[in-house]
């Protein structure tokens, strides 16, 4: 019994906590970027990884992607798909961070605003931590998901 | 000889006188009496009996002279026996023996005991085809002289026969006159009877004419009422026909329906005095019922109302009732037909009343048919309404069934959707990824269109002609020969990290401020060499464009930037 409780705590409930945390982080991170797309475009450009033609498009789409995925993660809709997408984003961010850390590029992370602290290896650790959380969320089914209403509704209909 | 002549003369004289006596007499009895009185003298008889009879009926008359009254009366009582004895051929129906006068000897007569004893002469004679006569005379005065049983002399016999012929002739004439008189009387009676019969036949003819008129009207009524469907119309038509058929000036027919609490009234020749109201109609019908003598209301009852003028008085009739017929269709539907005086003022005869009664019976049939038709029509309408309701119900049920099917299909689709969504929520989907990406792009681009802080999708340096470039070597030469200024277009952090020695930082973001601070005094002819581009941003191009906009004459972009500069070993800092 205790084993099951721990399994639940470390599995479902921890996944729920990760969902809320990651979703909140991404929603929060997206708000500033959406409002100041030009500055975010400069941040992307400072990474020197995206072609010039795609920088502005990235700056426009990426914050909305973070907002949608964060909101869906909090709401519990398409949790696996969203967690996979956020994981992919975090992986890309991590690679970008690694590349620029190796280049010794003097830039900020730009994760939340243009006035972030200078990007360091801790930034990479943070991203990897978030990546691990997304992986946990991907593999563990969590409660309080909006899509679970489908199953309960289906049961109500069938009964 | 002279005696002989005298005797003949006397006989002729007797005959003449007798003929004169009998000439003016027309009654047979009087003739017979006169003949007896006249004949007994010349013949010399003391008593005489004369019988005139009709053998077929054993009737006639018996006259006598010289007999005691009792014997004369007894003789009259024996007339049938005399007929049987002396006229045995009465059954021959008028076919009497041809000889008119028969002299009967007393010993030959069967009825010898019927006549007085001393009758010496018996003569039977035929008067006509139906009358016979008997003459008995005696005793003769000459017989007293000659002894009993003396016979009549030939002269006397001849005289007697002649007298008899006179008698027969007189009787024939009298009987003929009598017959003629009787015939005249009979003819008068028959004439009277014929006159009465003619009057009666005229009356019958009038009655028949009236009946034919009534029957024609009734026939016409039947033809017309056969097409009527409503009770009110039938009553109107019936009343009109009855008034015409019986020559009545005013009348009404009323039908009271107690179950439906309704009154149907038809009035002609008089105003409606409120009988169409239920209460007044009920009173009239009740009075009619009580006056008709009925004790219970049997279906299809038709009874005349006795003394309608008195019994229906005070019922609100607009005219004086001369004839009334109470009728009942059933226990609930009753009515009355009331007719006023005829136009001629004569009362309706019993036959008319019976005819009227029969017609009311016919009316009941039509009214019943109309009511049945109304009931059937109502039932049909009810059935039609129920059919329509059923049709609507069936339609509604069909629609409901279709709706249920639709809802079931929708429910199945919802279940399928929920099942699919439930399953999909548990697994990774590339489709969802694509949808989320497209949604993010669309939202981003749409928001960018409306946002005041929007950015162009295509970088601006791609939309203008590229600035003139210069290699690192020529740039170095130009720096040394003409004092060209090197401008670092990168952000401050990059500039601080590494830069061309002597380069000035001028970023596109802070261009205006930095330009005023650092380049306001720089002559426009001074060559400006800009570097700081990378894969993501051509800051050098942007700054070059801005400097050219400030009318600097020689603005050059360093090919491959700081990397090429440093690679040639040109001085950088720090």
Q: What is the pLDDT of residues A23-72, one digit of tens each?
A: 999 999 898 888 888 888 888 888 889 898 888 898 999 999 999 999 99
A60, A67, A119: best to mutate for the B interface, most B CBs within 10 A? A60
**B395 near B388, Cβ under 8 Å?**
no
Closest-CA distance, B417 to chain A, in angstroms, reads 9
- Is the four-CA dihedral B558, B562, B564, B570 of positive or negative sign? positive
Tally of domains in chain A: 1
Question: Can you say how many angstroms the Cα of residue B36 is from the centroid of all Cα atoms in its chain?
Answer: 90
Nearest to B415 among A60, A84, A158 (CB): A158
- Partners of A42 on chain B (C-beta within 8 Å) are 491, 509, 537
Q: A1 falls in which pLDDT band (50, 70, 90)?
A: low
What is the C-alpha separation between B341 and B304, in angstroms, rounded? 16
Whether residue A80 and residue B415 make contact (CB cut-off 8 A), yes or no, is: no
Residues 6+ away with beta carbon under 8 Å from B259: B332, B333
At B96 the pLDDT is 47
Between the alpha carbon of residue B539 and those of residues A55, B74, B237, B444, the distances in Å are 13, 195, 116, 24
Check if A86 contacts B (Cβ < 8 Å). Answer: no
Classify each residue of B287-326 as buried b or exposed e, where b means 16 or more C-beta atoms within 10 Å of its C-beta. bbbebbeeeeeeeebbbbbeebeebbeebebbbebbbbbb
The answer, yes or no, to whether residue B231 has pLDDT greater than 50, is yes
- Partners of B437 on chain A (C-beta within 8 Å) are 61, 65
Q: Which tens digit of pLDDT belongs to each residue from B475-510?
A: 888 888 888 889 999 888 888 888 988 888 988 888
Q: B149 falls in which pLDDT band (50, 70, 90)?
A: very low
Q: Which tens digit of pLDDT belongs to each residue from B236-280?
A: 989 998 888 888 999 999 999 988 899 999 999 888 777 888 988
Query: Which residues are paired to B264 by β-bridges?
Result: B255
At B59 the pLDDT is 83
Between the alpha carbon of residue B442 and those of residues A60, A74, B51, B150, B415, the distances in Å are 9, 22, 166, 188, 31
**B109 near B17, Cβ under 8 Å?**
no
CB atoms within 10 A of CB B239: 25
Q: Which tens digit of pLDDT belongs to each residue from B550-573?
A: 888 888 998 888 888 888 888 888
Q: Which tens digit of pLDDT belongs to each residue from B352-395?
A: 888 888 889 888 888 888 888 888 989 999 999 999 999 999 99
Whether residue B536 and residue A46 make contact (CB cut-off 8 A), yes or no, is: yes
The answer, yes or no, to whether residue B15 has pLDDT greater than 90, is no
What is the C-alpha separation between B425 and B544, in angstroms, rounded? 53
Q: For A38, which residue in chain B has the nearest alpha carbon?
A: B455
Q: For B458, which residue in chain A has the nearest alpha carbon?
A: A53
B413, B440, B450: best to mutate for the A interface, most A CBs within 10 A? B440
Q: For A67, which residue in chain B has the nearest alpha carbon?
A: B440
Choices 3.20.20.60, 3.40.250.10, 3.40.50.2000, 3.30.930.10: CATH for B460-573: 3.40.250.10
Residues 6+ away with beta carbon under 8 Å from B4: none
B222-376 folds as Beta-Lactamase (3.30.450)
The answer, yes or no, to whether residue B145 has pLDDT greater than 70, is no
Check if A41 contacts B (Cβ < 8 Å). Answer: yes
Return residues 14-33 of A near B (CB < 8 Å).
none
A29, A154, A158: best to mutate for the B interface, most B CBs within 10 A? A154
What is the C-alpha separation between A111 and A98, in angstroms, rounded? 14
A26, A64, A99: best to mutate for the B interface, most B CBs within 10 A? A64
Between the alpha carbon of residue B457 and those of residues A57, B10, B534, the distances in Å are 6, 197, 18
B103 versus B193: the higher-pLDDT residue is B193
The predicted model gives B462-481 an average pLDDT of: 86
Whether residue B457 and residue A36 make contact (CB cut-off 8 A), yes or no, is: no
Closest-CA distance, A55 to chain B, in angstroms, reads 7
Question: What ipTM score was computed for the predicted complex, to two decimals?
Answer: 0.89
Check if A131 contacts B (Cβ < 8 Å). Answer: no
Under CATH, to which class is B2-185 assigned? alpha beta
Q: What are the strands, taking DSSP E only, across B201-350? A: 251-257, 262-268, 301-304, 323-328, 333-339
- Is the four-CA dihedral A46, A50, A56, A59 of positive or negative sign? negative
Q: In the A/B pair of chains, how many CB contacts fall below 8 A?
A: 138
Whether residue B418 and residue A34 make contact (CB cut-off 8 A), yes or no, is: no
Is the model's pTM score more than 0.80? no
Helix (H) or strand (E) holding A17: helix A14-35
Six-digit token string for B66: 């010289």
Positions of CATH 3.30.450.40 in chain B:
2-185, 222-376
Check if A129 contacts B (Cβ < 8 Å). Answer: no
Q: For B430, which residue in chain A has the nearest alpha carbon?
A: A81
The two beta strands, B504-505 and B323-328, are unpaired
- Partners of A45 on chain B (C-beta within 8 Å) are 534, 536-537
At B99 the pLDDT is 45
**B166 near B100, Cβ under 8 Å?**
no
- Partners of A38 on chain B (C-beta within 8 Å) are 453-455
Q: B108 falls in which pLDDT band (50, 70, 90)?
A: low
**B487 near B516, Cβ under 8 Å?**
no
Positions of CATH 3.40.250.10 in chain B:
460-573
| Average predicted confidence (pLDDT) for chain B | 84
Domain holding A67, by residue range, is 2-158
Instruction: Report which of A30, A41, A33 is spatially closest to residue A69, judged by C-alpha positions.
Output: A30
Q: For B431, which residue in chain A has the nearest alpha carbon?
A: A81
Q: For B417, which residue in chain A has the nearest alpha carbon?
A: A150
Helices (H), B130-153: 141-146
Lowest-confidence range among A101-115, B185-199, B255-269? A101-115
């Amino acid at each position: 019994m205790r084993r099951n409780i721990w399994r639940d705590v470390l599995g479902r409930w921890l996944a729920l906590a990760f969902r809320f945390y990651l979703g909140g982080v991404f929603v929060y991170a997206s708000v500033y970027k959406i409002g100041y797309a030009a500055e975010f475009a400069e941040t992307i450009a400072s990474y020197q990884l995206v072609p010039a033609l795609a920088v502005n498009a990235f700056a426009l789409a990426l914050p909305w992607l973070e907002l949608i995925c964060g909101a869906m993660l909090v709401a519990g809709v398409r949790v696996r798909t969203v967690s996979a997408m956020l994981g992919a984003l975090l992986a890309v961010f991590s690679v970008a961070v690694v590349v620029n850390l190796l280049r010794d590029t003097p830039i900020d992370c730009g994760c939340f605003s243009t006035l972030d602290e200078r990007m360091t290896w801790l930034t990479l650790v943070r991203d990897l931590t978030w990546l691990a959380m997304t992986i946990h969320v991907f593999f563990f089914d969590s409660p309080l998901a909006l899509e679970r209403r489908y199953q309960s509704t289906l049961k109500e209909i069938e009964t | 000889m002279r005696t002989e002549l005298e005797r003949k003369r006397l006989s002729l004289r007797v005959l003449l006188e007798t003929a004169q006596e009998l000439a003016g007499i027309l009654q047979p009895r009087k003739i017979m009496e006169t003949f007896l009185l006249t004949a007994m003298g010349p013949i010399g008889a003391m008593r005489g009996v004369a019988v005139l009879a009709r053998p077929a009926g054993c009737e006639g008359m018996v006259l006598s002279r010289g007999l005691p009254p009792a014997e004369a009366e007894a003789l009259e009582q024996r007339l049938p026996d005399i007929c049987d004895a002396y006229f045995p051929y009465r059954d021959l129906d008028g076919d009497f023996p041809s000889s008119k006068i028969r002299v009967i000897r007393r010993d030959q007569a069967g009825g010898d005991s019927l006549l007085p004893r001393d009758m010496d002469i018996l003569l039977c004679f035929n008067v006509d085809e139906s009358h016979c006569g008997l003459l008995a005379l005696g005793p003769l005065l000459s017989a007293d002289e000659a002894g009993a049983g003396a016979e009549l002399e030939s002269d006397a016999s001849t005289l007697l026969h002649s007298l008899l012929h006179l008698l027969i002739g007189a009787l024939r004439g009298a009987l003929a006159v009598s017959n003629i008189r009787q015939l005249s009387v009979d003819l008068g009676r028959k004439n009277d009877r014929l006159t009465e019969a003619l009057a009666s036949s005229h009356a019958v003819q009038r009655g028949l004419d009236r009946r034919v008129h009534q029957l024609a009207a009734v026939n016409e009524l039947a033809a017309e009422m056969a097409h009527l469907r409503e009770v009110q119309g039938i009553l109107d038509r019936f009343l009109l026909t009855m008034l015409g058929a019986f020559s009545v000036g005013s009348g009404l027919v009323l039908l009271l329906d107690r179950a439906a609490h309704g009154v149907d009234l038809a009035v002609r020749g008089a105003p409606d005095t409120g009988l169409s109201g239920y209460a007044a109609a009920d009173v009239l019908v009740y009075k009619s019922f009580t006056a008709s003598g009925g004790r219970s209301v049997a279906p299809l009852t038709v009874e005349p109302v006795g003394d309608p003028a008195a019994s229906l008085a005070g019922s609100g009739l607009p005219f004086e009732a001369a004839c009334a017929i109470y009728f009942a269709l059933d226990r609930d539907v009753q009515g009355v037909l009331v007719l006023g005086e005829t136009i001629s003022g004569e009362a309706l005869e019993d036959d008319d009343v019976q005819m009227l009664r029969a017609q009311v019976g016919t009316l009941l049939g039509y009214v019943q048919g109309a009511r049945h038709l109304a009931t059937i029509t109502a039932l049909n309408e009810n059935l039609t309404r129920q059919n329509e309701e059923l049709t609507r119900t069936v339609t509604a049920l069909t629609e409901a069934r279709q709706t249920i099917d639709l809802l079931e299909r929708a429910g199945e689709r919802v279940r399928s959707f929920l099942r699919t969504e439930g399953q999909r929520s548990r697994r990774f989907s590339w489709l969802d990824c694509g949808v989320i990406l497209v949604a993010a792009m669309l939202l981003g681009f749409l928001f960018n269109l409306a946002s005041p802080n929007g950015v162009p999708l295509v970088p601006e340096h791609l939309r203008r002609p590229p600035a003139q470039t210069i290699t690192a070597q020529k740039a170095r030469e130009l720096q040394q020969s003409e004092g060209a200024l090197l401008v670092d277009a990168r952000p401050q952090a990059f500039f601080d990290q590494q830069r061309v020695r002597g380069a000035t930082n001028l970023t596109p973001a802070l261009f205006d401020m930095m330009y005023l601070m650092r380049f306001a005094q720089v002559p426009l002819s001074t060559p400006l060499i800009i570097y700081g581009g990378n894969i993501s941003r051509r800051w050098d191009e942007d700054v070059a464009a801005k400097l050219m906009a400030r009318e600097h004459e020689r603005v050059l972009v360093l090919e491959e930037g700081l990397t090429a500069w440093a690679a040639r070993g040109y001085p950088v800092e720090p």
